[in-house]
Amino acid sequence: MKKTLFDKIWEQHVVEERQDGSSLIYIDRHLVHEVTSPQAFEGLRISNRVLRRPDLTLAVADHNVPTENRINGIKDNIARIQVETLEKNVKEFKVPYIPLMDSRQGIVHVIGPEQGFTLPGCTMVCGDSHTSTHGAFGALAFGIGTSEVEHVFATQTLIQKKPKTMLINVSGSLSIGVTAKDIALAIIKNLGTSGGTGYVLEYSGDAISDLTIEGRMTLCNMSIEAGARAGLIAPDAKTYEYIKNKPMSPKGEAYDKALEAWKLLPSDEGAVFDKVINIEASLLEPHLTWGTSPEDVLSINDVVPNPKDIDKENLRNAMQDSLDYMGLKPGQALTDIKIDKVFIGSCTNSRIEDLREAAAVAKGRKVADGVHAMVVPGSGLIKIQAEKEGVADILIEAGFDWREPGCSMCLGMNPDQLKPQERCASTSNRNFRGRQGRDGRTHLVSPGMAAAAAISGHFVDVRKFN
Amino acid sequence: MKSFNKLTGIIASIPQVNIDTDAIIPKQFLKTIERTGLGKHLFHEKRYDQNNNLIKDFILNKQPWSQAKIIVAGDNFGCGSSREHAPWALLDFGISCIISTSFADIFYNNCFKNGVLPIILNEKIVDEISMLAEQGVEISIDLEEQQLIVQNKLYKFEIDPYRKHCLLNGLDDIGITLENKKTIDSYEEKLSSKIWHKPESL
């Protein structure tokens, strides 16, 4: 029988099929951060259980960490205790850990691939919904809750129902200025935030093959915003090249053997998916969100939608509520929306390519008066690379605030937050109410669009900068 | 885990779609290292204004719904972040059942790990229950029988048998899985043929 990439990974990881139709699935890689792990470690202690495979686990603090003056430590007591708790737990349970002041520290979904911890064909989990990011390597990677984190600690397995599969075929090529982020936003617009619920998405087609590994991570990262716990892209030469020589990836004979196995992973020609969606890349434009759900997506040259055009009462009211919260009027051109803040960062868009994309727009220009634009690299290594390449200098000269790595304003657990009614062009993944700060207004965009907005003081078609 | 069998209580209607876990429990409360104490922060931005005063017309701030044990809400409840703090906050507030037309996957899973019952019903029934909820009525839920009764109306619901079994008996998943430890051991023995499986050290 012809198999999909997902089928192949799933079959290789079934420890036991259970009578009720669910399966016990082996977990090859477990990423851990400070926010969703303390109760799981505590659970092990209470039940007197061991952490079965610390060697398949990797921990880092990212959500709570300050992105400036880090040398002074974490000022917020409760946040500091949470990071210290992680440090205590990784010591007690012998989990490999990247300390806060280590240059390799960064966002958990950035450091996994960067350290070679993420591999094709593996199953990977983390107490974080954006674990879908690692699907860019052909890993079956998904977010779990804290109870499941404890389950993986204790058993290195999870009980799972086999999800359905959806193929998203993106044919053709993207125009200049249109990026992986725009593909992601277009897909979420198409599927809605629950259209992917119960599915694993596989992205394929020329436009996907053409994406860099960084772009693929951006796309897979946002699968959860369409409701899908995991997104997958078949590994290819770019994937193997990226993985080679990373600190934790296989070396020598182990790499050669791995490569043989990885090459068997891509979906067989003619494999059947439960659902198929086709998207033509050349038709995509730079996108942004206008509302308070990631499905509220428009092209940059559109206007704010009108609730009067919505038939169903509860949806019409929901749209009006969103517009009121966002401070927008029906019919208003998106390019007329002025911004206060810019956030370039998050596990969606904080990698070197994202920073280069922003720098290409910012080069020789200045951030508009009254706009505060911050750039938060995904990891210390990316920060160093951007500084070496001159990307950091371009951004700093243009007036961007160059920060230390972490999750930062994507969710504002640290001091990086929007004030009420502040409007932000953000390269993150969620525009939920209050996400970036109470009553803050978030518009999701690509790094290029964020940089262009920073320079202009309002949203603008990034293609005008190319 | 606390078991769930029968539940009778006030039902609060929050007739919105896509209620995300950021709304259920905002980020500033995720810094805790405990599972308890989050109830007072449930739906924080809907319940309190910027000066931390109660927003009186929000349903959970009004009598009798401030005593609600059940919530009925729109499509895709619990979308977004994987934070298990969402069911912890609901439970700590006193809510152990959510009724909706659909749930986001991770939240749905997290409920079952905490003795919270998510019930999926069709839109027509959810709308009916939502209208009755506004009258401040009580609803009775019987998991064993897979039914709920409100105002002499009886509705049946579907639930995965294993999850039902665990909820009814308050069973800990980990304990059940560890009964199969030998199966996991033998799976791991086979992994030795994948010589690349173990990560190199950091």
pLDDT digits (tens, 9 = 90+) for B143-155: 999 999 999 899 9
Say yes or no for a CB contact (<8 Å) between A412 and B180.
no
Among residues B74, B70, B60, B69, which one has the least CA distance to residue B127?
Answer: B74
> DSSP letters of B26-55?
-GGGTT-SSSSS-GGGTTHHHHB-TTS-B-
How many interchain CB pairs under 8 A, A with B?
195
**pLDDT reported for residue B2:** 85
Query: What residues of chain A lie within 8 A of the CB of B162, using their CB?
Result: 18, 20, 22
- Taken in order B173, B179, B184, B185, the sign of the CA dihedral is positive
pLDDT value for A236 = 98
In angstroms, what CA-CA distances link A400 with A146, A177, A188, A436?
36, 21, 30, 19
Distance of CA A166 to the CA centre of its chain: 19
Q: How far is B125 from chain A (nearest CA, A)?
A: 16
The answer to whether the CB atoms of B50 and A150 lie below 8 A apart is: no
Please, which pLDDT band fits residue A9 given cuts at 50, 70 and 90?
Answer: very high
Tokens read off for A285? 């434009």
Peptide bond just before B64 cis, omega within 30 deg:
yes
Any CB–CB contact under 8 A between A438 and chain B? Answer: yes
Which of B75, B174, B186, B190 to substitute to test the interface with A, most A CBs within 10 Å? B174
Classify A251 as helix, strand or coil.
coil
CB-based contact (8 Å) between B55 and chain A? no
CB B174 within 8 A of CB B130: no
Per-residue pLDDT tens digits for A424-464: 999 999 999 999 999 999 999 999 999 999 999 999 999 99
Write down the pLDDT at residue A20.
Answer: 87
Separation CA A125–CA A57 (nearest Å): 10
Q: B18, A194: Cβ pair inside 8 Å? A: yes
Alpha carbon of B47: minimum distance to chain A alpha carbons (Å) = 13
Q: Mind telling me how many Å the CA of A401 is from chain B's nearest CA?
A: 24
C-alpha B198/C-alpha A445 separation (Å) is: 37
Number of Cβ within a 10 Å radius of residue A331:
9
- Of the candidates A16, A9, A18, A32, the one whose C-alpha atom is nearest the C-alpha of residue A148 is A32
Structural domains of chain B, ranges and CATH numbers in brackets: 6-193 (3.20.19.10)
Which contiguous run of DSSP H or E holds residue B154? strand B153-156
B200 touching chain A per CB within 8 A: yes
- Say if the Cβ atoms of A435 and B27 lie within 8 Å: yes
The residues facing A263 across adjacent strands are: none
The pLDDT mean for chain A works out to 97
Q: In chain A, what residues touch B188 (CB-CB under 8 Å)?
A: 26, 156
Interface of A with B in 267-286 (CB under 8 A): none
Q: For residues A328 and A333, give the distance between their C-alpha atoms in angstroms, rounded to a whole number.
A: 10
**pLDDT by residue (tens digit) across A179-197?**
999 999 999 999 999 999 9
A99 part of contact set with chain B, CB < 8 Å: no
Whole-number Å distance between alpha carbons of A401 and A422? 17
Q: Has residue A314 got a pLDDT over 90?
A: no
Pick from B45, B162, B180: CB nearest A16 = B180
Mutate to test the interface with A, among B35, B49, B202 (most CBs of A within 10 A): B202
Please check whether residue A263 touches B, CB under 8 A. Answer: no
| Nearest neighbour of B198 by CB, restricted to A55, A64, A193 | A55
pLDDT of residue A19: 87
Residues 6 or more apart whose Cβ sits within 8 Å of residue A329:
A304, A323
3-state DSSP helix/strand/coil % of chain B, to nearest 5: 40, 20, 45
Place of tokens 């609060």: B12
State the pairing for strand pair A164-171/A157-160: unpaired
ipTM of the complex: 0.97
Which residues in A lie closer than 8 A to residue B20 (C-beta atoms)? 430, 432
- Specify whether the CB–CB gap between A292 and A322 falls below 8 A: yes
Give the contacts of B78 (CB within 8 A, at least 6 positions apart): B19, B20, B21, B24, B86, B98, B103, B104, B106, B107, B108, B110, B111, B118
The yes-or-no verdict on residue A405 having pLDDT over 90 is: yes
Rounded to a whole number of angstroms, the CA Rg of chain A reads 21
- DSSP H helical ranges for A327-422: 352-362, 380-389, 391-397
Please check whether residue A82 touches B, CB under 8 A: yes
Q: Does the beta carbon of A433 lie under 8 angstroms from any beta carbon of chain B?
A: yes
Chain B touched by A50 (CB under 8 Å): no
Cβ-nearest to B45 among A63, A64, A433: A433
Task: Report the alpha-carbon distance of residue A410 to residue B74 in Å, rounded.
Answer: 26
B74 — contact with chain A (CB < 8 Å)? yes
Q: Which tens digits make up the pLDDT trace of A202-252?
A: 999 999 999 999 999 999 999 999 999 999 999 999 999 999 999 999 999
pLDDT in tens, A126-179: 999 999 999 999 999 999 999 999 999 999 999 999 999 999 999 999 999 999
Contact between chains at B31 and A78 (C-beta distance less than 8 A): yes
Q: In DSSP terms, which residues pair with A230 in a beta bridge?
A: A200
| Cβ(B8)–Cβ(B142) below 8 Å | no
Q: What does DSSP say about strands A372-375 and B138-142: parallel, antiparallel, or unpaired?
A: unpaired
- The partner residue sitting opposite B106, judged by closest CB among A115, A129, A438, is A129
Q: Could you tell me which chain B residue has the CA closest to the CA of A122?
A: B197
